[in-house]
Amino acid sequence: MEIKEVRPSGYCAGVGRALALVRKAVSDYPDQPVYIVGMLVHNRYLVEALKTRNIITLDDSVKTKSELVDEIDNGVVVFTAHGIDRKVKKKAVDKGLTVIDATCQYVRKTHEIIKEHLADGYTVFYIGKHHHPESEAALSLSENIILLTGIEDAQNVCCDNDRILVTTQTTMSVYDTAEMIKIILDRFPDATIAEEICSATRTRQNAVAQLKDTDVLIVVGDPKSNNTRQLAYMGEKAGIKKVLRIETARDLVNEVFNETDRIAVASGASTPKALTDNVISYLKTKDEKYLETDLSVICRFL
Ligand code: SF4
């Protein structure tokens, strides 16, 4: 069996910065509770690891971010790299909470582009995922933003305004986005395009798309992680016959590989490196010690 790690792996710069801000919050406010509204990154093992440091993640699919802020009485609140509705942030400030906004620079840039075009009278088409925190934050900027989630939306969207900006969530598939933009330009030739897939997402997707001589692609990451999902999709598009999405090495216990298999292991920008390293070590040795998800190891990366 030949095993190789697809690089880059480990956290992207935006996630690294968000973690650094959380670390700083803990050391700057040692006597106060530190809350994160929503998952700092889409990885439940990281959330568990944060809990061991008394950092509380408030995440509930049936509650809005505003409702989650309602639950905090005092302390520090961290908003994640995905961005946050300004009204929710203001609510936290008005409650007297110490607010730390970890919005990634690339997400901020997209928001600035959207705001500039809205001020110039544009309607914004935003290519993104339903109920994803990043698209929710972008859509909160104005009611003049239309979410497009797939090819069908691109084919059917209606707009009377001749000023249209097309922009994107940072973690979308490069392929699908290009296809959607092509459809939109066929229908609205004067639309302004600001494709905002970030460099971390693009580099990881390109690395998978360029894989050669690969029989199996294993993508390590949380089921909720959009950038991880896109890597698996890229592998399928690249014609790799077997593509597995897993959270930890434990998901491989019942998998059967051939002696001649050439296996590539990729991971999303939100996947702790320790989990990917465990997967690779398990594949190489079959040692059961790599099946344990040792939170103290993940904590070393906090
Ligand atoms: S995936 Fe891109 S936009 Fe999202 S946090 Fe990482 S660098 Fe920022």
Distance CA 279, CA 83 (A): 31
Query: What is the residue-wise DSSP string for 15-80?
Result: HHHHHHHHHHHHHH-TTS-EEEES-SSS-HHHHHHHHHTTEEEE--TTS-HHHHHHT--SSEEEE-
DSSP SS3 for 217: strand
pLDDT value of position 215: 97
Q: Which atom of ligand 1 is nearest to the CA of 18?
A: 5
- Residues 6 or more apart whose CB falls under 8 angstroms from that of 72 comprise 35, 58, 92, 95, 97
Active-site annotation holds for 255: no
Question: Is residue 196 predicted with pLDDT exceeding 90?
Answer: yes
Q: pTM score, two decimals?
A: 0.90
pLDDT value of position 44: 86
240-258: pLDDT as tens digits: 999 999 999 999 999 999 9
254-265: pLDDT as tens digits: 999 999 999 999
Task: Indicate whether residue 170 lines ligand 1 (CB < 6 A).
Answer: yes
Q: What domains can you pick out in the chain, each with its CATH number?
A: 2-10+207-299 (3.40.1010.20), 13-103 (3.40.50.11270), 106-197 (3.40.1010.20)
Nearest CA to ligand 1 atom 6: 14
Q: Which atom of ligand 1 is nearest to the CA of 171?
A: 1
Question: Is residue 42 predicted with pLDDT exceeding 80?
Answer: yes
276-285: pLDDT as tens digits: 999 999 999 9
**The one catalytic residue among 134, 136, 196, 247:** 134
